Amino acid sequence: MLLQQEIRIGDEHGYGYAKLTACDLYTEQTLFGYRLNFNFQGVSFVRENGEPLTLVGLETELYFHDGKRSVLMGRMLPDLNERPQLLGGRDLRVRRHFDIRAEDFVRLAVQSHHGDVTFEFHAAPMFLEKQVYAKKEEGRIKIPHSEWLERLNNTGIARYDLIAIRTPVASSHLNKPFAEAVDKIREAERQYMKGD
């Protein structure tokens, strides 16, 4: 899945050394909750002076964007098998995960099941070469509503169904029965959310 906002990997002088352009997300159950796994892919560039540059880490904070504001979820952790990556025209892969307690994941599901889901990343690269001063950059991924509901359903915490109903236009004599049926579905969801 392409990032809506790519994560640039560069320095404070504005030089870009790489960029992360895509991300695959999958969830898995852990002992005390769930793990959100983010597998980033991108490309690196050859430096103007031709000197090698090695990416040894990417300190990344995860944010959930609820449509109005971004809420910090916490720091993401690197994959245990991560090794330094030599930049300079090579493909780039960075894996990060975020562990979330079961009750917090349920809260996230309740807050996010109504539409597309957006996660933001604040990332600061770390280089082996000490003379390069890294700059913190931001990236963003938007997961379509239907895909997010499928991911939530696969966790087994709840069941969400995306229902698309074609209804006649308002001026049609057939509109009233359809409008009433849709209103009943919405009322049933409201009652369910209240616990009735």
pLDDT of residue 189: 75
Q: Length of the chain, please?
A: 196
Q: Which of 2-6, 41-45, 146-150, 164-168 has the lowest mean pLDDT?
A: 164-168
Q: What is the pTM of this model?
A: 0.79
Say if CB 120 and CB 45 are below 8 A apart: no
The CATH number of domain 2-145 is 2.60.40: yes
Number of Cβ atoms within 10 Å of the Cβ of 56: 13
Parse the chain into domains and list their residue ranges. Answer: 2-145
Confidence of residue 9 (pLDDT cuts 50, 70, 90): very high
Block residue for tokens 């349920």: 106
Q: Tokens for 43? A: 């490309």
With CA atoms as reference, report the closest residue to 62 among 134, 144, 119, 124.
119
What is the per-residue pLDDT for 39?
97
Query: What average pLDDT does range 19-30 have in this prediction?
Result: 94
